[in-house]
A and B are shown apart, each in its own frame.
Chain A
Amino acid sequence: MSERSIELTVNGRSYSGTADVRTTLADFLRHGLGLTGTHLGCEHGVCGACTILVDGVSARSCLMLAVQAEGSDVRTIEGLAEPNGDLHPLQTAFRDNHGLQCGFCTPGILMTLMELLDEQPDPTEADVRDAISGNICRCTGYQSIVAAAMQAAAELRKGRRA
């Protein structure tokens, strides 16, 4: 296989390394960088478990090649908590509302919602459901996820006003 060198930023840290050209970004993050919080649920771009932010935009890391992320600023679930270790308000809201059970789809849902709450600080429940309609969760029935997103949105709006 032909390898190429890549440089990218993940959760604010610079990484440089090599990747087979066909290595997916998900596999590179998981097995190359050891960031195993990004999960693979289908590897055909439907379930959304592997969703990450690439230059601020949600992307299915199973459908991207690592070499396509050259020069990108990537954010994964590991980069969500505050630098001091405190949970992000979205993570806290998921805990408060039982927005996760097995936790396998959760990283992708959190990253999808990060994008939503950034673009739309005051979403309706329907907006949230629409935003996560490309993320499959077999455990929760989604209601607790929607509740968590609404709590996080309110919390983040408070933060913005303060």
Chain B
Amino acid sequence: MSRVVGHPKHRIEDPALLRGNGRFVDDIALPDLLHVAFVRSTVAHARIIGVDVEIAKDMPGVHAVMQAKDLKPALMSLRMPLGASPSSAQNSSTPFVLSDKEVAYVGEPIAMVVAHSRYEAEDAVAAVIVDYDTLPVVTDARVGAVVGAPVVRTELASNVLNKLKVEFGDIEAAFSDAAHVFHDDLLQHRGCGHPMEGRGVLVEVRPGGNSLCVWSSTQMPHDLFHALSAMLDLDENRLRVITPDVGGGFGPKYCLYPEEFALPAAATILGRNLKWIEDRRENFLAAIQERDQYWSLDVATDADGRVLGMKGSLIHDQGAYAPKPVNLPYNSATAATGPYIVPAYSVDVSIVHTNKVPVSSVRGAGYPQAAFAMERMMDLIATELGIDRAEVRARNLIPPSKMPYTKPLKARSGAAMVYDSGDYPASQAEALAAAGWTDFPQRQAAALAEGRHIGIGMANAVKGTGRGPFESGTVRIAPSGRVSVFTGATAMGQGLATALAQICAEELGIEAEQVTVIAGDTAFSPLGLGGFASRQLVTAGSSVHIASKAVAAKAIKAASHMLDVPEEELELSGGHVRVKGNSNRGMSLAEVATRLRGAPGYAFPADVDPGLESSIQWKTDALAYANACHVVEVEVDVEVGHVTINRYVALHDSGKLINPMIVDGQIHGGIAHGIGNALFEVMGYDESGQPLTTTFAEYLLVTATELPRFETIYLETPSPMNPLGAKGVGEAGTIPAAAAIISAVEDALKPFAVRISQTPIVPETLFNLIQKGRAEMAARGEAIS
């Protein structure tokens, strides 16, 4: 029985945050600080004819107004490198640090004002005059993909960034042998990540003027470090990147951004400390968004609804640029078959630029779209064949007897896609039982008799978590006895420090509160990847676990020499190495660490290396697959199209849980995000590419009054893929949520024979679908039950 791991421990992050003593990037004060505001494109596509800064540069408090040409002396290139990639090379779709020739989305940075206050900087931004020659705009990827469509940037020959085909099995045979073929076109809308803290960059020019410390509210400090080092041609010992407290990530902070290069470049040129804090409107305009995908699918089944094959196409809206390799549609296309046995599969993927803000991952990263597509097809099969929706899924789920199950696909690493563990049918059965699936039809009939439209829906999901290739973990006990964990993983509010401290404390015989975790600081962790793909507990956790074991073993070995007691008679507890059965005899970890620090000329314990520490970079190419089943009950007010969620049951198997309290928080937050995607979050653009929703009054994030109590159930099938048996939880809650809710809403609207093939369904959309259903039924001469 573990002592620290597996228990709902209080978070070590909380006291400072609860007292208002957190240190987010805007909380850090530096001497002689200047503030930056950006001049951003007000049009979706234009050639820049000229930028007039004459009035702006003479305004009160203004220190400098800088354009691309002004930053050029400090930068190796005005074009950004490709983030999160093995090559880091720039290409014709990476964004610019500042754009001086052409802009391709509203919000693209053109110039920066440096002033004594943000207020004065914004005054001057308003006085910069940009002369635009507007160009044709593409806002719909389906239109942009057509040959002859105007290009979103004049440097491109085509808006199609890439095409790929994801396929396996004999798809032609599957369809020719099919008893039934069903078709649907699905539209999934983009949304924003919206961490409550926007992005922000702070640059300190260190004394002497030729080294920089950069704080960024990012998920990827090491990626930024290496990219900045190359772009500024700065020796690595002259650059440090730190992530301070981060007020939420949710994907948008995974990218390298123009502002993260513009500020260090300007600071270098001006020799001044600079700060830029993104405001919410900028976050709407310039932080990446995700999820616009258009799927067209055909599914072939046998007479009993067993899937024989699925084929179709997927158009992915990439926005104006691609700041990192475009993995999302690959995630979507390879994840679509989910927890089901699909013998043959073929999907043509087109990745298409549009004149909208660039697209990268938002919580779920392509998986929610995949789950939505597959689960909608499952419901379609059930509806068309008159089989219960859960039964259709049960007939197609991968049984536990086939685990581990290899999908004939490859993960990004090239490794085979192997679902390592889990019992999908049992997961579904347990979630359905908890939600009262079988007796729902009676409740539904009773409600309908009262004129209330209630519905139940479900969705399954599988998520590959713990993406490699590695994450770093160093465990060090100082001569003071203080225990520190250093990692390249990045804390962005999810409780990473607590989880890693628990893993460390378990092995060292101490409490989690006695461990300090330093995450995301390139000065302390030379190697690191960062926060993405529900990976950090699995990867950094495994490194810290192995490193902690090594430190424990080393402490015992050293103490064995020092106490002259055989190793097997020693154990760690309460910060001491003790002789088993004799708690009075032993020595503190501080004493061991002091000895292993060494002293000039004094002998060292034999066979023990200096330093009471261990550094591990646990590597993996494979993923640990978590699974989930969500069951949702809703009520629809058919007069106004309003949806109320009455009940939400979420079953998750995320392997061995390190801190069940934190896991529950991750799942709750993930579900809330998915509910937003299903019912509330609309990022509107007009035909000219102008964003229509740039405040929280227009773009609705879900609030407390719209949510039900979540009922969560956890199975803990350990993953054999890592020493902790863990699977990631950061995104799993989001992935099936929208699919389950839409399934429930459609069920509630059975009397109107409504088919829902899109997200989100805001009241107006739903109202129109209901009206359409009524009209079609009337045309067929059917009565609404």
Interface, chain A (partner B; CB < 8 A): 1, 20, 22-23, 30-31, 34-44, 46-47, 49, 76-78, 80-81, 87, 91, 94-96, 98, 100-107, 110, 128-130, 132-146
Chain A residues lying within 8 Å of B11, measured Cβ to Cβ, are 95, 98
12 additional contacts (CB under 8 A) given A95-B11, A141-B710: A22-B119, A30-B27, A44-B696, A46-B696, A77-B20, A103-B17, A110-B18, A128-B704, A136-B703, A138-B701, A140-B669, A143-B709
Question: Are A96 and B196 in contact, CB atoms less than 8 angstroms apart?
Answer: no
Q: Which residue in A1, A20, A37, A136 is a CB contact (below 8 Å) of B196? A: A136
Contacts of B20 in A (CB 8 A): 35-38, 76-78, 80, 107
Closest B residue to A106 by beta carbon equals B17
Which residues of chain A are near B494, meaning CB under 8 Å? 101-102, 139
The answer to whether the Cβ of B493 comes within 8 Å of any Cβ in the partner chain is yes
Closest to A90 in B: B18
Kindly list the 3 A-B residue pairs having the minimum CB-CB distance in the complex, ordered from nearest.
A37-B20, A102-B493, A103-B17
Contacting pair B119 A23 (CB below 8 A)? yes
Minimum Cβ distance to chain B for residue A138 (Å): 5
A131-B14 Cα distance, complex, nearest whole Å: 23
CB distance from A62 to the nearest CB of B (A): 10
Q: Is B279 positioned at the interface, with any CB of A under 8 Å from its CB?
A: yes
Interchain CB contact under 8 A, A102 and B18: no
Contacts of A80 in B (CB 8 A): 18-20
Is B167 an interface residue, CB under 8 A from the partner?
A: no
B707 → chain A closest CB, angstroms: 6
B140 within 8 A of A: no
Tell me which residues across on chain A come within 8 A of B250, comparing CB atoms: 138
Q: Select from chain B the residue with minimum beta-carbon distance to A104.
A: B247
B13 CB-CB contact with A under 8 Å: yes
Least CB distance, B215 to chain A, in whole angstroms = 14
Decide: A141 and B197 in contact? CB cutoff 8 A.
no
Task: Decide if B18 touches A95 in the complex (CB within 8 Å).
Answer: yes
A139 B669 Cβ-Cβ under 8 A: yes
> Within the complex, what minimum Cβ distance (angstroms) separates B247 from chain A?
3
Cross-chain pair count, CB within 8 angstroms: 172
Does B1 sit at the interface, judged by CB under 8 A?
no
- From residue A29, how far is it (CB to closest CB) to chain B in Å? 10
Q: Please indicate the chain A residues that have their CB under 8 angstroms from the CB of B247 in the complex.
A: 39, 102-104
**Cβ-defined contact, A138 with B194, below 8 A:** yes
Known contacts A105-B196, A132-B704, A138-B669; A37 and B248 CB within 8 A of each other: no
In the bound complex, what is the Cα–Cα distance between A22 and B709 (angstroms)?
Answer: 42
Least CB distance, A21 to chain B, in whole angstroms: 11
Given the known interface contacts A107-B20, A136-B701, A141-B669, the answer about A39 and B709 at a Cβ–Cβ threshold of 8 Å is: no
**What is the bound-complex CA distance between A81 and B18, given in angstroms?**
9
Q: A36 and B10: CB pair below 8 A?
A: no
Most buried by B among A34, A100, A137, A138: A138
Of B279, B495, B662, B704, the contact of A142 (CB 8 Å cutoff): B704
Indicate if B477 sits at the interface (CB-CB under 8 A).
no
Select B14's contact among A47, A94, A129, A142, beta carbons within 8 Å. A94
Shortest CB–CB separation between residue B564 and chain A, in angstroms?
45
Instruction: Pull 5 A–B residue pairs with CB atoms less than 8 Å apart, ordered by A.
Output: A36-B27, A77-B19, A136-B696, A138-B195, A141-B707
Residue of B nearest to A78 (CB): B20
A145 partner residues in chain B, CB cutoff 8 A: 704
| Minimum CB distance partner of B27 in chain A | A36
Known contacts A87-B15, A133-B705; A101 and B669 CB within 8 A of each other: yes
Give the Cβ gap from A18 to chain B, nearest Cβ, in Å: 14
Q: A47-B196, A78-B20, A136-B703 are in contact. Are A142 and B697 (CB under 8 A)?
A: no
Contact A100 B17 (CB under 8 A): yes
Per-residue contact bits, chain B 648-692, to A (CB 8 Å; 1 contact, 0 not): 000000000000011011001111110000000000000000000
* Closest-CB distance, B201 to chain A (whole angstroms): 16
Whose C-beta in chain B lies nearest to the C-beta of A81? B19
Assuming the contacts A44-B280, A47-B196, A95-B10, asked whether A101 and B119 have C-beta atoms less than 8 A apart, the reply is no
B10 touches A96 (CB 8 A): yes
State whether the Cβ of B29 lies closer than 8 Å to any Cβ in chain A: yes
Residues of B1-51 contacting chain A, CB below 8 A: 10-11, 13-15, 17-24, 26-27, 29
Cα(A117)–Cα(B248), bound, Å: 28
Q: Which residues of B contact A23 (CB under 8 A)?
A: 119
Chain B residue at minimal CB-CB distance from A96:
B10
Tell me the minimal C-beta distance from B500 to chain A in angstroms: 16
* Contact partners of A81 in chain B: CB under 8 A: 19
B732 contacts A by Cβ under 8 Å: no
**Does B695 touch A at the CB level, under 8 Å?**
yes
Does B60 sit within 8 A of A, measured CB to CB?
yes
How far does the alpha carbon of A141 sit from the alpha carbon of B704 in the complex, in Å? 7
Minimum CB–CB distance from A41 to chain B (whole Å) comes to 4
Contacts of A1 in B (CB 8 A): 60, 119
Residues on A with C-beta less than 8 A from B248 are 101-102, 104, 138-139
A34 touching B15 in the complex, CB below 8 Å, given contacts A46-B695, A146-B704 = no
Instruction: Please tell me if the beta carbons of B19 and A144 are within 8 angstroms of each other in the complex.
Output: no
Q: How far is the CB of A105 from chain B (nearest CB, A)?
A: 5
> Which residues in B have their C-beta under 8 angstroms from that of A129?
704-705, 707
Q: Are A44 and B697 closer than 8 Å at their CB atoms? A: yes
- Chain A contacts for B259, CB-based, 8 A: none
Q: How far is the CB of B20 from chain A (nearest CB, A)?
A: 2
Chain B residue contacts of A142, Cβ below 8 A? 672, 703-704, 707
| Separation of A91 and B703 alpha carbons in the complex (Å) | 21
Residues of chain B lying within 8 A (CB to CB) of residue A37: 19-22
Q: Does B492 lie at the interface of the complex (its beta carbon under 8 Å from any beta carbon of A)?
A: yes
Contacts of B664 in A (CB 8 A): 98, 144
User: How far, in angstroms, from A106 to B14 measured CA to CA in the complex?
Assistant: 10
- Closest Cβ neighbor of A79 among chain B residues: B20
Flag if B704 contacts A41 (CB, 8 Å). no
Say yes or no for B379: interface residue by CB 8 A criterion: no
B764 CB → nearest A CB, Å:
21
> Could you say which residues of chain B place their CB within 8 Å of the CB of A139?
196, 248, 493-494, 665, 669
Q: How far apart are A126's CB and chain B's nearest CB, in angstroms?
A: 8
A103 shortest CB reach to chain B, Å: 3
A102 touching B705 in the complex, CB below 8 Å, given contacts A87-B18, A96-B10, A144-B668: no
Could you tell me the distance in whole angstroms from the C-beta of B184 to the nearest C-beta in chain A?
30
Which residue of A is nearest B695, CB measured? Answer: A44
The reply to whether B701 and A43 contact each other, CB–CB distance below 8 Å, is no
User: Is the C-beta of B204 less than 8 angstroms from some C-beta in chain A?
Assistant: no
With a cutoff of 8 Å between Cβ atoms, the chain A residues found around residue B695 in the complex are 42, 44, 46
B665 touches A102 (CB 8 A): no
Q: B141 on the interface (CB 8 Å rule)?
A: no
Is the pair A101, B493 in contact by a Cβ cutoff of 8 Å?
yes
For the complex, give the distance between the alpha carbons of A129 and B707 in Å: 9
Query: What 1/0 flags go to B54-78 for Cβ under 8 Å of A?
Result: 0000001000000000000000000
Q: What is the chain B residue whose CB lies nearest that of A44?
A: B695
Do residues B24 and A78 form an inter-chain contact, with CB atoms below 8 A?
A: no
Cα–Cα distance between A36 and B26 once the two chains are bound (Å): 8
